[in-house]
A = this chain, B = another copy of it.
Amino acid sequence: MASIEIERLVRFLGRLPGLGPRSAQRVALALMKRPDTLLRPLADALTLCADRVRTCGVCGNLDAVDPCAVCRDPERDRGTICVVQEVDDLWALERSGTYRGLYHVLGGTLSALDGRGPEELRIAGLLARAEAAKAEGVALEVVLALGVTVEGQTTGHYLAERLTPFGCAVSRLAQGVPVGGEMNYLDEGTIEAALRARQRIV
């Protein structure tokens, strides 16, 4: 139907979460109607991300520098590591503006159903950070900010158990997080309340 260039664009747009084939066409057309103010800038923004953004080797965050800006920030409290499932959970916490420690992005949750074990997640790196803190004599607190879902909580229990040998405190966000909810969709107020009321579990 359309030119191969447009068909190719529609095909890739259709692979984005939340876009079906028809909405991909609608988006492609909207882009082509604004070549200078939307199409080209979006293409450049994507290319820039592809060229520059990488995964932080320390915490798993996405940034143009590695280690990421959060890991490098001297103002950050290095005695606290907040463990999240995904990078957008980290973004949600940053939006709340109430957390000043470091992060660790797991890349998901343990899931027997999906066959996702500890090796599939960024868990070894977290344990290495806890071990390093112990070696340096830093009193480390690990705050678990995982989704209040079966898998999120199972992952939290597993991490608490694995972190115990390193003598660090492990807490989780207060159960102000709505049951069944995902970190990514929380409003800032709920995140702030849950952070303040976090409960130590180990």
Contacts and interface: CB of A to CB of B under 8 A. Distances in A.
Interface of A: 1-6, 8-9, 12-13, 15-19, 22-23, 25-32, 35, 38-43, 45-50, 52-53, 62-65, 68-69, 86-88, 91, 94-95, 184-185
Contact of A69 (B3, B62, B65, B91): B3
A64 B2 CA distance: 10
Given A27-B17, A62-B2, A43 B50 contact: yes
Contacts of A64: 3-5
Nearest to A61: B2
A9 B185 contact: no
Contacts of A31: 16, 46, 49
Contact of A45 (B8, B49, B91, B184): B8
Contacts of A25: 88, 91, 184
B91 A49 contact: no
Contacts of A28: 49
Q: Which 10 pairs across A and B sit closest by C-beta, in order of nearness?
A: A43-B46, A1-B94, A9-B45, A12-B42, A43-B47, A3-B63, A40-B50, A1-B91, A3-B64, A8-B45
B18 A48 contact: no
Contacts of A32: 49, 53, 62, 87
Nearest to A95: B1
A87 B29 contact: yes
Nearest to A28: B49
Contacts of A53: 3, 5-6, 32
Nearest to A107: B33
A1 to B, nearest CB: 4
A6 B46 contact: no
Nearest to A39: B50
Contacts of A40: 46-47, 50
